[in-house]
Amino acid sequence: MRQSTDNFLALSLFLLFFANFIYSVVYFYNDFPNGYVWGELFIKYTDGFVRRGLTGYLLYHAANFLNVHIVWTAFISLVYILFFIKAYSFIRENVSYFFTIVLFFSPALLAFLVKDPDLFGRKDILFLALLAIIMAKASTIIISPEKQGKAWLTIALCYLVAFLIHEITLFFALLPALLVLRANEKHTLATVAAIGAVFLLSALFAVHFQGTAAMREAMFHDWQALIPDFTTQGGMRFIGKDLSSHATPFPWLQNGNLRLSYIAAWLLALLPLGLLMYVYRFHTACTDVLGRGMTWLAYGCAIFPAVILTFMINDFGRTISYSCLMFLFFALHILRIYRDRHGDLPVRPCFTQLHFANTPVLIGSLYYLLCWKLYHYVPLSMEPRIISLSF
């Protein structure tokens, strides 16, 4: 009876998650070609080296031969499905079934990418997948240095492609870089120099070389030659404009009620990640794997992109969510390395028998509904809609 109830609750959560995913796909597909996400995808390098260029460049040159509308929707849907299946199996392999569920459905973590229809189709899922591959390869080298094979080539190519897809996203690659440094201790200075150069280029291209108004107009004419009803929607509106001209400086900090609401909401959203770190003594495991200094550096690297990118683009919810997601994958890789080294994880005694049960699932469901507003960066004190299907 209990197992039957557990299965029913798990299936209910899966259906909620899957329904949001399907809704996002349909929303994205029907918005072609002038939805916000489509406009961001179509930015290209044809007229100069500007932000988010590689996928736009490839789409532009493929547009004469392929139906970008269908092909890109199918491609990004497949990437989403593979990413979430791999993420689910990775969490399940490293921690308990209970944590797999609550981490998977946390608004601040994996569920963030599916819940908001405006996030589907963005290039974010591509760079997240690339950074996850970098961490996996670096962890494998740390565990088995003799089995490096082509891992270093894969790591280098992943960094390069991530940079070309969206230069600013490499701010999120600081945590993967720590694992890369740990895996390449014999050539630390060369590795630090290479990674440092990549991040300097990221900052340079992301902030200073966004193109000009003339470049933006040329890009519009190019796309309109292929797609007559293409407009200036999406990220293209900001090419050639000063960042400060379209960013409202921290509206969530200018009102006491908003500030308290955001802080309370994010504490709730980060509860599963905090619980994971407490149960498995993450600080102890990370210190064992990386050393004390790099462990504290890792904490700083988890906060850095959220602070820097919020200053730059004022995208509070998205940047913090991606920072937390990177830290989650980083923490799971640290636990994996520790377990391989010691044969078991440093689980606190009171949680050694933690399993998936009715009470945690019910609490998790209520928690999910409570925190859903974070997907739209709306404070909890404002209008109550429940899930995206209730649009």
Q: Over range 7-16, report the average pLDDT.
A: 70
Instruction: For 45, list phi and psi in degrees, rounded to 5.
Output: -95, 0
In angstroms, how far apart are the furthest CA atoms of the chain? Answer: 67
| 166: three-class secondary structure by DSSP | coil
Task: Please report the pLDDT score of residue 296 as a whole number.
Answer: 94
Omega before residue 272 within 30° of 0, cis: no
Within 13 Å and on the Cβ side, how many CA atoms surround 244?
A: 1
For residue 386, pLDDT over 50 is answered with no
Task: Please report the pLDDT score of residue 256 as a whole number.
Answer: 67
DSSP for 57-99 reads HHHHHHTTTS-HHHHHHHHHHHHHHHHHHHHHHHHHHHS-HHH
In whole angstroms, give the CA distance from residue 369 to residue 59.
37
Contact 33, 230 (CB under 8 A): yes
pLDDT, tens digit, 9 for 90 and up, residues 169-225: 777 888 999 999 899 887 788 888 887 887 777 777 666 656 677 777 878 888 888
Task: Please report the pLDDT score of residue 23 as a whole number.
Answer: 86
pLDDT, tens digit, 9 for 90 and up, residues 57-69: 888 888 888 889 9
Q: How far is CA 157 from CA 38, 41, 124, 162, 164, in A?
A: 26, 21, 17, 8, 11
Task: Please report the pLDDT score of residue 39 as a whole number.
Answer: 82
Residue bearing the bigger pLDDT, 388 or 235: 235
Q: Apex CA 332: angle with CA 328 and CA 198, to 5°?
A: 65
Residue bearing the bigger pLDDT, 326 or 241: 326
User: What are the structure tokens assigned to 96, written together?
Assistant: 């308990």
User: What are the structure tokens assigned to 122, written together?
Assistant: 């963005």
Share of the chain above pLDDT 90, in %: 20
Token look-up 């990370």 returns 286
Task: Please report the pLDDT score of residue 158 as a whole number.
Answer: 92
For residue 147, pLDDT over 50 is answered with yes
User: What are the structure tokens assigned to 70, written together?
Assistant: 């269908």
Share of the chain above pLDDT 70, in %: 71
Note the residue count of the chain: 391
Task: Please report the pLDDT score of residue 382 as a whole number.
Answer: 47
Task: Please report the pLDDT score of residue 143 as a whole number.
Answer: 92
DSSP for 248-295 reads ---GGGSSHHHHHHHHHHHHHHTHHHHHHHHHTTHHHHHHHHH-HHHH
Residue bearing the bigger pLDDT, 385 or 238: 238
pLDDT, tens digit, 9 for 90 and up, residues 234-288: 666 666 665 555 455 555 556 666 666 666 667 777 788 888 899 899 999 999 9
Q: Over range 120-140, report the average pLDDT.
A: 91
Q: What is the mean pLDDT of the chain?
A: 78
Contact 55, 43 (CB under 8 A): no
> Of 363, 346, 337, which is closest to residue 142 (Cα–Cα)?
337
Long-range contacts of 283-292, Cβ-Cβ distance < 8 Å, separation of 24 or more: 284/346, 285/334, 285/335, 285/338, 285/345, 285/346, 286/331, 286/334, 288/338, 288/341, 288/342, 289/142, 289/182, 289/334, 289/337, 289/338, 289/341, 290/178, 290/182, 290/334
pTM: 0.84
In whole angstroms, give the CA distance from residue 378 to residue 108.
13
Task: Please report the pLDDT score of residue 214 as a whole number.
Answer: 75
